[in-house]
Amino acid sequence: MPVSTWAVAEPQKLTFDEPVTTLQVRVVNGTVNVVGSEETAARLEISALEGPPLVVTQQDGTLTVAYEDLHWKSLHKWLEDKGWRRRAVVSVVVPADCAVEVGAVGAEAVVSGIRGRTDVRGVSGDTSVSGLTGKVTAETVSGNLEAQDVTGDLRFQSVSGDLTVVDGAGTSVRAESVSGGMILDLDPSGRPTDIRLTTVSGEIAIRLPHPADATVEANTASGTLSSAFEDLRVSGQWGAKKITGTLGAGTGTLRAMTASGSIALLRRPQAEEEPHDAEPTGKVL
């Protein structure tokens, strides 16, 4: 299929009648909004633009909106060599089954309603994803990730960015950070989960459904531990401390590790319970 190309130097709207199966967006500063739709045509609106033109290309089902000199693999190193001012506000509506790749240097990214794979790579801008059913992978330097109502597998890696999961219905979450914190509110609807969290100095808080079903192991070298589950054992008086035990049948897995941060395991209230029952009631070390 021949390549269709547009050089966009000012605010503009474009509609693409050819099928779009993959979306790639790479911008510096500003905002990227991606929305999944049941429509077959894709729509693009660039509502603000500063600096050089954005190049829009469409070929073989791939729609790309990017600066010509900004590449996916060198995204994290880009600011070391480029210093001029750029900003773009990009909104794209694509078929919900589309695969999405967003590269954002200092830009905020919002992705919603996508059933395909979603990959986000950022430097300092925050990312928000909601209503995604495909696998989600996010890598940031200092940007935060907020995931709401995500049912696909979630992977997060950052230096200092925080991870927040709200109404997490997915069965697999794996996150690594150096100093970023992690807050997870999980409700996998009775399905076994595989949760693995690692941070050096960040704090970890996980709210599990009640009753929960997981084999639990949480460790901290010098932080504090708290658990709202009587079936779990909190041990260690000096130095390293850990929470271990089995909730329910132990079908799922929960692993959380931090060197100096604290770890709290909270309990989601049952329907007949008051919200305050979700607070930790077990031992604290």
Q: What percent of the chain has pLDDT over 70?
A: 88
Average pLDDT, rounded, for the chain: 88
Question: What total of structural domains would you count in the chain?
Answer: 2
Lowest model confidence (mean pLDDT) among 70-79, 142-151, 209-218, 223-232: 70-79
Residues 57 and 189 in one domain: no
Query: Among candidates 171, 173, 183, 117, which has minimal Cα distance to 144?
Result: 183
Residues 89 and 199 in one domain: no
Residues 66 and 160 in one domain: no
Residues 154 and 197 in one domain: yes
Q: Per DSSP, what are the bridge partners of residue 35?
A: 93, 112
Residues 211 and 112 in one domain: no
Report how far residue 49's alpha carbon sits from residue 36's, in angstroms, rounded to the nearest whole number: 23
For 148, the 3-state DSSP assignment is strand
Model confidence over 228-258: pLDDT tens digits? 999 999 998 777 899 999 999 999 999 999 9
Residues 115 and 148 in one domain: no
Q: Is residue 133 in a domain? A: no
Q: If pLDDT is split at 50, 70 and 90, which confidence band does 38 have?
A: very high
Q: Is residue 131 in a domain? A: no
Q: Is the pLDDT confidence value at 203 over 50?
A: yes
Out of 119, 134, 167, a domain closes at: 119
Q: If pLDDT is split at 50, 70 and 90, which confidence band does 153 have?
A: very high
Q: Is residue 204 in a domain? A: yes
Q: Is residue 127 in a domain? A: no
- What is the phi/psi pair of residue 274, to 5°? -80, 155
Write out the two tokens for 24. Answer: 């790639």
Out of 86, 103, 119, a domain closes at: 119
Report how far residue 180's alpha carbon sits from residue 14's, in angstroms, rounded to the nearest whole number: 38
Which pLDDT does position 73 carry in this prediction? 58
Report how far residue 62's alpha carbon sits from residue 60's, in angstroms, rounded to the nearest whole number: 6
Model confidence over 89-143: pLDDT tens digits? 999 999 999 999 999 888 899 999 999 999 999 888 899 999 999 999 999 999 9
Which pLDDT does position 70 carry in this prediction? 65
- What is the phi/psi pair of residue 165, to 5°? -115, 120
Lowest model confidence (mean pLDDT) among 27-31, 37-41, 62-66, 80-84: 80-84
Residues 225 and 109 in one domain: no
Rg (CA), the chain: 21
Report how far residue 280's alpha carbon sits from residue 262's, in angstroms, rounded to the nearest whole number: 14
Model confidence over 162-192: pLDDT tens digits? 999 998 888 899 999 999 999 999 988 778 8
Whether the CB-CB separation of 266 and 227 falls below 8 Å is answered with no
Which pLDDT does position 78 carry in this prediction? 53
Which pLDDT does position 277 carry in this prediction? 46
Q: Is residue 260 in a domain? A: yes
Residues 40 and 169 in one domain: no
Report how far residue 220's alpha carbon sits from residue 236's, in angstroms, rounded to the nearest whole number: 10
Residues 101 and 151 in one domain: no
Q: Is residue 153 in a domain? A: yes
Residues 279 and 153 in one domain: yes
Write out the two tokens for 87. Answer: 């900003």
Q: Is residue 126 in a domain? A: no
DSSP 180: -
Which H or E element spans position 78?
A: helix 78-81
Q: Per DSSP, what are the bridge partners of residue 178?
A: none
Q: What percent of the chain has pLDDT over 90?
A: 72
Cis peptide before 211 (omega within 30 of 0): yes
Write out the two tokens for 272. Answer: 């007949």
Q: If pLDDT is split at 50, 70 and 90, which confidence band does 68 have?
A: confident
The residue-averaged pLDDT of 9-34 equals 94
Residues 115 and 150 in one domain: no
Tell me the residue range of the domain where 93 lies: 1-119
Q: Is residue 105 in a domain? A: yes
Which pLDDT does position 229 carry in this prediction? 93
Residues 111 and 170 in one domain: no
Q: Is the pLDDT confidence value at 280 over 60?
A: no
Out of 119, 152, 171, a domain closes at: 119
Whether the CB-CB separation of 93 and 35 falls below 8 Å is answered with yes
Q: Is the pLDDT confidence value at 31 over 60?
A: yes
* Selected residue with higher pLDDT from 93 and 75: 93
